[in-house]
Amino acid sequence: MPDLGGSVPLNHHSEYSGLTEAQYAAIGRAVVEWANVEFLLGVLLSRLLATPEFLARTYTDSISAVRLQEAIAEAAEIHSVRYGNRLVSHEALKEISEVNNRVTHLRAVRNKFAHFCWMRSNDEEIFGTSFSGGIWSPKRERRDNIVLKVEELAMLNAEAHLLVEQLMKLVEKLPEVTEESLLTKR
């Protein structure tokens, strides 16, 4: 193993630090739900931009989740201010804002799963660290590692699942521009 400078060992160092299958599955579930969220954010933006979903992917597939959220917020504001809620209702725009806030929370957790190194504290708890460089501070310590109980991870996954369900329903409330409608207009 390479010398990691005295840092916390990776989960490969010991059978006791390796994640259990249930812990791996819970992290995998979080990653899968995040992929659903990110895809649906792209669909939501396509609806707000009155663009067919497939065509909108040329734009949405190449931007980060945070940028998708910013574009959704900007488009929602345009629908409210410039278009006076004529295409998208005030209630739907309010729900979009609320969902966007929930996505921000979930994105922060997702980033930890994607960028931290994870190991088992015990069968009921996992520990993640970013192994970031720099000078230690209490603020960095809180930001650069996390301890999660398996039941907390299950609750986060349930929250993400509900968010996906809400995003699917929200997308259905918005007007859709289909490829067929564009291709048959002349």
DSSP label at residue 34: H
Confidence at residue 116, expressed as pLDDT on a 0 to 100 scale = 87
pLDDT confidence of residue 109: 85
Residue carrying the six token digits 């931007």: 63
Q: Does the predicted TM-score (pTM) go above 0.75?
A: yes
What pLDDT sits at residue 102?
95
Q: What string of pLDDT tens digits covers the 186 residues of the chain?
A: 445 555 555 666 666 678 999 999 999 999 999 999 999 999 999 999 999 999 999 999 999 999 999 999 999 999 999 999 999 999 999 999 999 999 999 998 888 888 888 899 999 999 888 876 666 666 666 678 889 999 999 999 999 999 999 999 999 999 999 998 888 876
The predicted structure's pLDDT at residue 146 = 87
Per-residue pLDDT, 111: 86
Contact between 15 and 139 (Cβ < 8 Å): no
Helix and strand tally (H, E) in the chain?
Answer: 7, 3
If you count them, how many residues does the chain have? 186
Strand locations in the chain, DSSP E?
Answer: 117-122, 125-129, 145-149
